[in-house]
Chain A
């Protein structure tokens, strides 16, 4: 049968090869560009603002949920593991090899270090309902765990930064790393006083510059407030 003629018998067939090629190309693209975020233990919905600076990659993040509980996270997993080791030494809480490894891939957490081994062993779904999830203790006099986490994490990330910079220098390469930034992500409904308590933990350590995470005004999470341009 010559081309162009309508086939007489059987199902009409269409050459779908280009479409399928394109589809697989797109699948490959999305698979390679997708970065998976670990589920956060709580939903924190930041307020909107006109700020359009992207959040730096290398951060120490404290999220504060609507109830004012602080959650702690470090973007650099190498530094995160090293911080855990130091905390484990200070608070005399032992972690197994597997737990340490699992901790490196975890998102932020909001439990006291005494509960952390149990929390690490829990599955992701169980972590959402983990009890007691009171946030990282942040009592500057009696239980300054948050401040210790931040201090050790800052030491570790800076250590890694300096090591990598020197390595790049020795190798004669350009260094592209970033210094660690302190990010605060608080829910829009959080009382400012809870945010202030966390900020005080930082300012007591002579850390004064912050990146406050906000959603873009007019973006996906629009504040339920009328009248604002």
Chain B
């Protein structure tokens, strides 16, 4: 690059007049500079990864006057302001219910491995263990991928695996909802839904976070 045509004075020999030899080299420095500039620009601005997305289905509104489904192995996750998170297991029991069951208490937890993750994993041990077994079989080539997918779906849908309900109040943020759903996905929970809170639940929650 950047060569300077050598015009050295070595022409004293001989009187023959020769045309001055013109250099055929072009100075490419500016072009190369620009090339590298563009390269840097494209390298720094290009994004290879497409945005990731989480597929989620919401339930169709139930037909009117349909009885709420009884959930056997259920976990209710209640999200509220300041990234606080409460849960209770099973059905909701009002303080003075007819069946004489103890009233539902909300327990506070957190988005930590020792918090929500552990609770979900404990309650969903059936599906989690089943899927782990299936995965081992796939690894040792005893099972085809499609069979695995089908059986994994079955394990997630089994009665013994967890059904989770995510309920939010007006102050919960989107991040909490995504975190809760993500935690459920990580723990192989197949049955979960984001629904509205019932009035007694809301009353209990306001009492708790007062």
Interface residues of A (CB under 8 A from B): 10-11, 13-14, 16, 20, 23-24, 26-27, 30-31, 33-34, 46-56, 64, 183, 185-193, 195-196, 199, 203, 206, 208-217, 223, 225, 227-229
Docked-complex contact A208 and B58, CB < 8 angstroms: yes
Task: Give CA–CA (A215, B179) in the complex, Å.
Answer: 12
The 5 tightest CB contacts between A and B, nearest first, are A30-B42, A51-B54, A188-B175, A211-B53, A47-B175
Contacts of B39 in A (CB 8 A): 23, 26-27, 30
B37-89 with Cβ < 8 A to chain A: 38-39, 42-43, 45-46, 49-61, 79, 83
- CB–CB A223/B175 < 8 A: yes
Segment with Cβ contacts to A, from B109-117, B132-140, B142-150: B109-117
Residues of A within 8 A of B83 (CB): 225
Q: A191-B172, A195-B174, A210-B56 are in contact. Are A33 and B46 (CB under 8 A)?
A: yes
Nearest-neighbour CB distance to chain B for A203, whole angstroms, equals: 6
Closest B residue to A223 by beta carbon equals B175
Question: What interface size band does chain B fall in?
Answer: 35 or more
Give every chain A residue within 8 A of B185 (Cβ-Cβ): 49-51
Given A26-B43, A30-B39, A196-B168, 18 more pairs with CB closer than 8 A: A16-B1, A34-B42, A48-B178, A50-B185, A50-B186, A51-B53, A53-B53, A55-B51, A186-B174, A191-B171, A192-B173, A195-B174, A195-B177, A203-B60, A212-B53, A214-B53, A214-B54, A217-B182
A59 to B13, CA, bound (A): 79
Residue of chain B at shortest CB distance from A204: B61
Checking B54, B173, B181 against A189 with a beta-carbon cut-off of 8 angstroms, the contacting residue is B173
B49 / chain A contacts, CB cutoff of 8 Å: 216
Q: B111 — which chain A residues lie within 8 A by C-beta?
A: 225, 227-228
Quote the shortest CB–CB distance from B197 to chain A (angstroms).
Answer: 11
The interface residues of chain B lying within 8 Å CB-to-CB of A228 are 111-112, 179
Docked CA distance A217–B52 (Å): 10
Residues of B whose CB lies within 8 Å of any CB of A are 1-4, 6, 28, 32, 35-36, 38-39, 42-43, 45-46, 49-61, 79, 83, 110-113, 117, 168, 170-179, 181-182, 185-186
Contact status B61-A203, CB under 8 Å: yes
Residue of B nearest to A224 (CB): B175
Query: In the complex the two chains form, what is the Cα distance from A10 to B170 in whole Å?
Result: 77
A199 and B52 within 8 A (CB): no
Pick the residue among A14, A30, A55, A187 that contacts B52 (CB under 8 A): A55
Q: Out of B35, B55, B174, which one reaches A191, CB within 8 Å?
A: B174
With contact pairs A10-B4, A34-B42, A209-B57 given, residues A20 and B28 touching in the complex (Cβ less than 8 Å)? yes
Per the bound structure, the CA–CA distance linking A228 and B182 in Å amounts to: 11
Distance, CA A112 to CA B24, complexed state (A): 63
Q: Can you name the residue of chain A whose Cβ is closest to the Cβ of B31?
A: A20
Report the nearest B residue to A20, measured CB to CB.
Answer: B32
Q: A10-B6, A23-B35, A30-B43 are in contact. Are A51 and B58 (CB under 8 A)?
A: no
Least Cβ distance of B41 to chain A in Å? 8
B167 shortest CB reach to chain A, Å = 10
| A27–B46 CB distance below 8 A | no
Cβ contact within 8 Å between A183 and B174: no
Interface hub of A23, A49, A227 (most chain B Cβ within 10 A): A49
The closest CB in chain A to the CB of B45 belongs to: A34
> Contacts of B59 on A, CB cut-off 8 Å?
208
A192 near B52 with CB under 8 A, answer no
A188 touches B3 (CB 8 A): no
Residues in A neighbouring B55, C-beta threshold 8 A: 51, 53, 209-212
Q: Are A229 and B52 in contact (CB under 8 A)?
A: no
| From B3, B53, B58, contact of A55 by CB (8 A) | B53
Interface hub of B54, B57, B61 (most chain A Cβ within 10 A): B54
Partner of A47, one of B4, B32, B61, B179: B179
